[in-house]
Amino acid sequence: MKSLSEIETTVKRASKAAGYSWGVSEETGKSIRLLELFSLPGVKHLNEYFNEKNKSKFENLNLISKNNPLSKNPYCPIALGVSFLDQINVLENLQKIEFKNVAYPIIFISFISRSSEIVGKKIYVKIDKKKILLNLNVNINSNFIDQEFPKIANTIEVILLENEDNFTDDEWNNLYKLSEETFVEESDSLKEGAAGAGLTDND
């Protein structure tokens, strides 16, 4: 079994050989490593993309907006991913972003997952009718995790979720009240110990 470090290094070198800069190649290595960590087919889809890249044309999208135009050729998932990663601090204010005609979307997803960690927000992604929840780069939840990922996504919706508790105020207050039973009331001996702390000469 290949180690994650070996996967990252090999992907970085292969990406450079495929025509990307060392900087972009390094980001790609980190992203494919992430997919393999979560048992997603990163190496497989990257291989297929590089093979197709030699005979097909893919578009780059350097400046991302709320609604990105439909391109004649599919968007390159690596260039799109790096742009998303670079612009995430601005993009989080848009809340919802839509892309059309993206090649090998699972590769793009890995960059979005890393962006989730940067802004400290969960990100909900919809690839056509398939749903994915990216949780601060800690895990990737999907309703099609055991299905084949598409090679082309007609539409990708990216929604940055506001941080909210998953419980009500009453549920929290009840739990906190129970936790108060473990609080220790300050005794005279504790006060004396605290008052004398640091006054003993050990020299």
Amino acid, single-letter form, for residue 69 = P
Q: Is residue 122 part of a domain?
A: yes
77-109 pLDDT, tens digit each: 999 999 999 999 999 999 899 999 999 999 999
How many independent structural domains does the chain possess? 1
Q: d(Cα 46, Cα 57) in Å, to the nearest integer?
A: 16
Q: Establish if 95 belongs to a structural domain.
A: yes
Say how many residues make up the chain.
203
| pLDDT top residue among 129 and 61 | 61
Residue 16 lies in a domain: yes
How far apart are the C-alpha atoms of 22 and 31, rounded to whole Å? 14
Which pLDDT belongs to residue 194? 56
Q: Is the pLDDT of residue 6 over 80?
A: yes
pLDDT digits (tens, 9 = 90+) for 132-163: 999 999 888 887 666 788 999 999 999 999 98
Q: Is the pLDDT of residue 202 over 60?
A: no
**Three-class HEC string of 29-95:** HHHHHHHHHCCCCHHHHHHHHHHHHCCCCCECCCCCCCECCCCCCCECHHHHHHHHHHHHHHHCCCC
Q: Would 64 be classed as within a structural domain?
A: yes
Name the residue range of residue 147's domain.
4-160
Residue 68 is assigned to a structural domain of this protein: yes
